[in-house]
Structure formats: structure tokens, C-alpha cells
Structure 1
Amino acid sequence: MNEVNITGTTKANAYVYINLNYGYAVLMNDNSFQTTLAKLMFTNEYPHYTLIYSDGGYIKIFKFNHPNVHVIKNDSDITLKFINATGTDLILEGFLDNGTLVFEKRYDVDGVEYFKLPSELNGSVVIRYSYLKDGTVLDRGIFRINETTTTSYPLKRS
């Protein structure tokens, strides 16, 4: 079956997805069809996701493409690398072992792929970062400066 002739006027604004290979059908209204789950399962429109695997029917595995911050240590420098760099602001907070906040600063990182931690962290041993876009947190993390492992990632500067 390739085509179904339908007569009459639209009443329910319904969508029907039929999978003849697996023998199932899904009926939904327009509001349901506009959800992320429906877009992922029944269309090829998923801009923030990458399809990793599909069996052609029931099973689909997606990777969510979201901004990430990687902590990179080269020698004595610690650099934050922004993967999918869409953020506009970075908030750094530095803490002592007893939890005392000793450093807090907001930086403009719009269009920045790498950010080297400043040297003036006032003796901080724990760093908490928040990567934001227009006030919305995209990624947040915490790490100890002395436990950050040295990596061999080449840092390309643009």
C-alpha cells in the first residue's frame, strides 16, 4: 500500500504512522506529533540529536548533541575546551578544602572554543564552572585542580 484516499474535511488534525514491517500503527493528534519523542521516532527532523542506530522500526538510538566542557591540563596550565561552543558566559567559582568561596568571576566566552583558567584563583583547590547561554545553564561541573590529569590533546588556538 503506497497511498490512501481520504475524503471529507479535517476534523481532528490527526497523524497516523504505520509500520507494515513490524505490524504496528500510532495515532496521535497535532500536539502529540510536535513533541520531541514523536519527531525522533517518526520523522527525520531531530536537529539536536544524531541517529546512532536504527533497526528500521522499534529501536532507534540517538546521541544528544549538547554543549560540553572538557577540562584539559597541559603542564601547569588548565584549559576548558568547549565542545559545540554555543555558550555566551562562563562562571568560575574557586573553593578551599573547607568549602570557603575565595574566587568568583563571570567571563564573556561568546565564540570562544578554549578558555585558560586564570592564575589568580586565590589559592582555590576546587573549581566549579557553569557554562551558560543567555542565562540558561548548558553545562556545569566541578573538579579539583591537583587531581586534574594531564592530557595529550593538542590545543589549537584560533
Structure 2
Amino acid sequence: MAERDFIAVRIAVLTVSDTRSLEEDRSGDVLEGRIADAGHRLADRQIVRDERAAIAAQLRTWIADPEVDVVISTGGTGLTGRDVTVEAHRDVYEKEIDAFGTVFTHVSMAKIGTSAVQSRACGGVAGGTYLFALPGSPGACRDAWDEILVKQLDYRHKPCNFVEIMPRLDEHLRRK
């Protein structure tokens, strides 16, 4: 079987924080650097406050944008009262990628032990766009990218990957 050619995807990065600016956003910087290093394109990068409606609104904006294939958010996935990123993601998901959180927990266990239980990282699909919510630490962003996303967002990864099914994510919307 012939090797597949790489297909670059367009990825938007959303940092959820009440206190960070783009200049102080180390987690967003980690993701932006890894996106570029992998050969993908940064479609947009924004910071939004820890407000459920504001997070969901930004996700919906990118879901509606044909120039965005994937959204990765960082921050707001913990257990405190201000952590509402997961709820905002679930407000917009059509389908949740349940195993993403499970695999992220497995990766995190190897790095931080049982503290991994405090993460609510999640993934889903809406409007033909993949959405992933990662914790706000640079280490968690590195782990999620290096151990999961860099492989699943690479069309050459076997036996399967997210990119190869991307054209079919919204097929239910095209049915008559």
C-alpha cells in the first residue's frame, strides 16, 4: 500500500482565562508551536474569560467558519467553580469523543500520577469540526498534543485517524 501524503488541518486555539493575556499565555504558545512544527496551520487564536456563554459563543463562531477544522481550548477543565470550559464544550457538541478524556487520563497518569483524576479534558464534534478541551497547564497541553493529537491529526497515522473521517463528520447535515 502506498504511503499517504500529509494533509495540513486548520486549528484554532482558545485559551480560557480570567487573568492571562496573549503575552502571558504559555499554554497557547505550546499549542501554537506544536501546530506549526507538525505542519498544520493556526487558523486563529483567542483568549476568552471563564464564562460559559462566552466560551460556547467562540466555539460556535469557529464551528461555523469553514476555515477552521479543529478547535483546541486550554484552561477551565478543573473542578473549581470558575471551571466551565467542559460545560461550554458540551453545550455545542453533537457527539462526544468519550475515549479522548480516557486516553488523556491514561497519558496524565504516567506523568502526574493520581492527580490526573482532577482533569476533565474532553473532546467532541460539532458542525464537522473537532473540539478538544485541555487543562490550562503547558505540560498538559504538551502531553495531549505529543501523545494524542499529533497522531490523530495526521492523515498518515495508522490504523486510523481523525483526518481521514473529517469529510464525513457532517454527512448527517447533508442528507435529504
- Bin the TM-score by the shorter chain: under 0.3
Q: Which has the higher strand share?
A: 1
Between structures 1 and 2, the one with greater helix share? 2
Q: Which has the higher contact order (CA 8 A, sep 6+)?
A: 2
User: What TM-score results when the alignment is normalised by the length of structure 2?
Assistant: 0.22
